[in-house]
Amino acid sequence: MKPRFALLALPLALALTPANAGAADRTPEARLAEHLKGYEPSGPPTRCIPLRNIRSSQIFDRTAIVYDMGGGLRYLNRPSSGESSLRRGDVMVTDTRSPDLCSIDIVRMYDSASRMQTGFVGLGEFIPYRKAKAPK
């Protein structure tokens, strides 16, 4: 019985080694930098972005939200308050009164498993990033 247990435990032990930990070991700032790799700031920050153009969003724990607008455009938002509520895997719910998502909007955070509210975030300005052009 002991040899079988050892054979079953080996894959688990290998999965938990630091070499296989991957992205989970990186800081949120490092993951954010990796996500924006190949993009460069492309203008002044803006207060609002059109909701209809948001294709996806990604949370970087206690740091920022990146909104992907498609067409090589992303907006980085570093919240003005509540950034400690940002957790990867949580669900963002925004109640807006306009067709835009603005820096005055509040985003409520919910745990995806329990569906309980875990906090809220006050959005900051949106910094545009465009896909960098290939050097000639």
Mean pLDDT of 72-76: 97
Q: H or E segment at 4?
A: helix 2-15
Q: Is residue 136 part of a domain?
A: no
Q: Is residue 52 part of a domain?
A: yes
Q: Is residue 109 part of a domain?
A: yes
Task: Kindly state the tokens that stand for 14.
Answer: 């290998």
**Distance from CA of residue 4 to its chain's centroid?**
41
**Distance from CA of residue 31 to its chain's centroid?**
9
Statement: the pTM of the whole predicted model exceeds 0.95? no
**Exposed (0-12), middle (13-18) or buried (19+): which is 21, by Cβ within 10 Å?**
exposed
| φ/ψ (deg, to 5) at 20 | -100, 0
Query: pLDDT confidence of 76, banded at 50, 70, 90?
Result: very high
Mean pLDDT of the chain: 85
Task: Kindly state the tokens that stand for 124.
Answer: 């900051």
Query: Does the structure show a pLDDT above 50 at 82?
Result: yes
Query: Does the structure show a pLDDT above 90 at 97?
Result: no
The number of folded domains in the chain is 1
Mean pLDDT of 67-73: 96
How many Å is the maximal CA-CA distance in the chain?
A: 65
Q: Is residue 8 part of a domain?
A: no
Q: Is residue 14 part of a domain?
A: no
CA distances from 79 to 24, 91, 129 (A): 22, 16, 17
Mean pLDDT of 48-73: 97
Mean pLDDT of 129-134: 89
Query: Does the structure show a pLDDT above 80 at 79?
Result: yes
Q: Is residue 18 part of a domain?
A: no
Q: Which residues contact 6 (CB under 8 A, 6 or more apart)?
A: none
Boundaries of domain holding 74 = 25-131
Query: Does the structure show a pLDDT above 80 at 135?
Result: no
Mean pLDDT of 95-107: 93
Q: For residue range 9-26, list pLDDT tens digits in order.
A: 333 343 444 444 555 578
| DSSP helix/strand/coil, 24 | helix
